[in-house]
Amino acid sequence: MATASIPSAKRTKNQELWHEIRRSFWPYLFISPFFILYAIFGLFPNVYALVLSFKEWDGLSEQRWVGFQNYIRLFQDEIWWKAVFNTVWLMFGTLIPQLSLAFILAFILNSGYIRFKDAFRTAFFTPVIASSVAMAIVFGALFGTRFGILNYLLSYVGIPPIDWLGSAMWIKPAIALLVIWRWTGYNTIIYLAGLQSIPSDLYEAAKVDGAKQRDIFWHITLPLMRPVITFTVILSIIGSLQLFEEPLLLTAGSAGGSSTSPGGTDQAGLTTLMYIYNASFQYVKFGYGSAMSFALFVLIFGFSFFYNRFLGRNLTD
């Protein structure tokens, strides 16, 4: 709102503010739905969760103030650290292959050597909108140890069956494969949009100057794509640190105990968000769950900030 205030010595600060609001009554009214909705559905839950993270609450009994105890417990909770390790592993394990693959696919799609571009674009994007139930069934059939398609194919090249979902060692690669399959197309579309926004006269000028295809890629395409790359990296960092659905799909049916083992064998596929969900809604420890949520927030903020500060910006500058 660019309403210039009228300085007046007589008015107190409050009056001044009030005056301003009245002057801009209609504009404020029109933008108010956002602030009202945000306050109800965004601000309030967040503030309440922050307050809750200093309390102990099982949903029904009285809330009890426990200070920083939840946060202290967090640091000593081996399951939490295991979940953090798994999540960070999955972040690196999915981010790099997924984004490189997406870039290559987008580059090929944009190159002009390909026909039926629309068909490919649709095909790549389909996994993003695929139903989770279907995904779970298909990937369950893929990763089955005894009767899985993947192991069947591996047997042709003499590789013994891999216990994809049942062993602590292979569950993370299996989750990573699912994540990569699901989100590569999404990033491909973003990259494709980025590639198409590069003005073609730049390429033409380079060609006229005798630049080779490789030089054009390194010196024109890549630098101009850096903002887009930064965008997808940040999105992927946020997304993969909040990984929930994919590991849940793959580990839910594979537990080998009479009781659940969330995250599969040795909790090797347990992500932070899965643990937060379990602690809050399965073990009804809402205070502890809230504390973990804020710890996860710090983690996400940290990784994003680090990338932006030390990698993203340097590249764009």
Enumerate binding residues for other proteins (CB under 8 A). Answer: 58-61, 76-79, 131-137, 139-141, 144-148, 163, 165-168, 245, 248-267, 278, 281-284
Write down the least CB distance from residue 236 to other proteins, Å: 20
- Closest approach, Cβ 179 to other proteins, in A, equals 14
How far from 34 is each of 1, 38, 173, 193, 240, CA to CA, in Å?
15, 6, 42, 29, 28
Rank residues 110 and 251 by Cβ distance to other proteins and give the closer one. Answer: 251
Could you tell me the sign of the dihedral formed by the alpha carbons of 242, 97, 86, 311, in that order? Answer: negative
Q: What is the largest CA-CA distance in the chain?
A: 89
Tokens 């504009």 found at: 27
Q: Give which of 209, 206, 201, 228 is closest to 217, Cα–Cα.
A: 206
Smaller CB separation from other proteins, 172 or 195: 172
Tokens of 21: 């609001």
Q: How far is the CB of 269 from other proteins (least distance, A)?
A: 11
Q: Closest separation between CB of residue 5 and other proteins, Å?
A: 44
Closer residue to other proteins in complex, CB, 116/147: 147
Q: Least distance (Å) from other proteins to the CB of residue 61?
A: 5
Give every CB contact of residue 160 below 8 A, 6+ residues apart in sequence.
Answer: 154
DSSP 8-state symbol, 56: E
> Which C-beta is closer to other proteins: that of 99 or that of 182?
182
* Residue with Cβ nearer other proteins (58 or 204): 58
Name which of 22 and 146 has its Cβ closer to other proteins. Answer: 146
Of 255, 271, 105, 278, the residue nearest 180 (C-alpha):
105
Shortest spacing between CB 291 and other proteins, in angstroms: 14
Pairing of strands 55-56, 64-65: antiparallel
* CA neighbor of 91 nearest in space, from 296, 243, 309, 266: 243
Nearest approach in angstroms of CB 273 to other proteins is: 12
Comparing CB distances to other proteins, the nearer of 24 and 167 is: 167
Q: What is the secondary structure of 278-316 as a DSSP string? A: IIIIIS--HHHHHHHHHHHHHHHHHHHHHIIIIIIHHHH
